[in-house]
């Protein structure tokens, strides 16, 4: 009104001396407001922006400082992932006990992914590029690995740990579905345990807990063989 903003829930006085209570703006109609010279205008909308990368809309933070910041953050994440398995390295140094291969592979992969991420961060030319790289999680190129003992084969309903064993033609595989289309002998003796009832459903029938030396997955069978775990 008269070029001034009127805050809600506050009493005001017009140029002719008329006084209005604090709740008048909320209770009055648009026509009543316009009758005394009040115009409603929409609030200005401030464009959203990522405060970790920008001081404001179209106002990026210093690119070099951000590169240093996110490089250090990447190193910290890598250190956090490596830390739970450092004791294997200490034990090896003090006692000579070998570090499990899974741990060695995991630690190597963590360092590799960390280095790859740092290279991608440092390759950005401006804050916009860096923002895109970080927020799009490096375009999915360098995912952090799962823990060395967390490898799980999953379908939509069930999961099987890699400790279960299947044999095809006498060749042992470390994961259940690795050669699920191969023909030959299926050895279920190590797959089924007393911990829970597991079931394998085949084209020609079902085999329950405790089964072994079951010949399925043959090329002569029609349809698809599946494993269902209860």
pLDDT tens profile 130-182: 999 999 999 889 999 999 987 554 444 444 444 443 333 333 333 333 333 33
Unique residue bearing structure tokens 């597991």: 198
Which residues have C-beta within 8 Å of that of residue 169, sequence separation ≥ 6? Answer: 182, 183, 184, 185
pTM > 0.75: yes or no: no
Closest by CA to 192, choosing from 156, 154, 228, is 228
Mean pLDDT of 27-35: 90
Give me the pLDDT at residue 117, please.
97
List pLDDT tens digits, range 176-218.
333 333 333 333 333 444 344 444 444 444 444 443 333 334 3
pLDDT at residue 224 greater than cutoff 60: no
């Amino acid at each position: 009104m008269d070029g001034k903003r009127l805050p809600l829930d506050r009493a005001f006085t017009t140029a002719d001396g008329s006084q209005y209570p604090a709740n008048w703006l909320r209770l009055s109609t648009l026509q009543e407001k316009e009758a005394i010279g009040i115009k409603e205008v929409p609030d200005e909308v401030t464009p959203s922006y990522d405060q970790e990368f920008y001081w404001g809309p179209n106002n990026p933070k210093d690119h070099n400082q951000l590169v240093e910041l996110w490089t250090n953050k990447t190193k910290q994440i890598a250190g956090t992932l490596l830390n739970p398995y450092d004791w294997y390295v200490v034990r090896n140094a003090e006692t000579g006990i070998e570090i499990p291969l899974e741990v060695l592979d995991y630690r190597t992969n963590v360092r590799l992914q960390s280095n790859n991420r740092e290279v991608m961060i440092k390759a950005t030319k401006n804050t916009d590029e860096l923002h895109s790289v970080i927020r799009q999680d490096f375009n999915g190129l360098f995912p952090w690995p799962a823990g060395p003992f967390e490898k799980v084969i999953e379908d939509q309903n069930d999961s099987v740990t890699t400790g279960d064993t299947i044999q095809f033609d006498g060749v042992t595989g470390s994961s259940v579905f690795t050669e699920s289309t191969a023909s030959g002998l299926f050895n279920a003796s190590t797959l089924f345990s007393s911990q829970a009832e597991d079931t394998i459903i085949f084209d020609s029938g079902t085999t329950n807990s405790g089964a072994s030396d079951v010949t399925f997955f043959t090329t002569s069978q029609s349809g698809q063989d599946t494993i269902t775990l209860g």
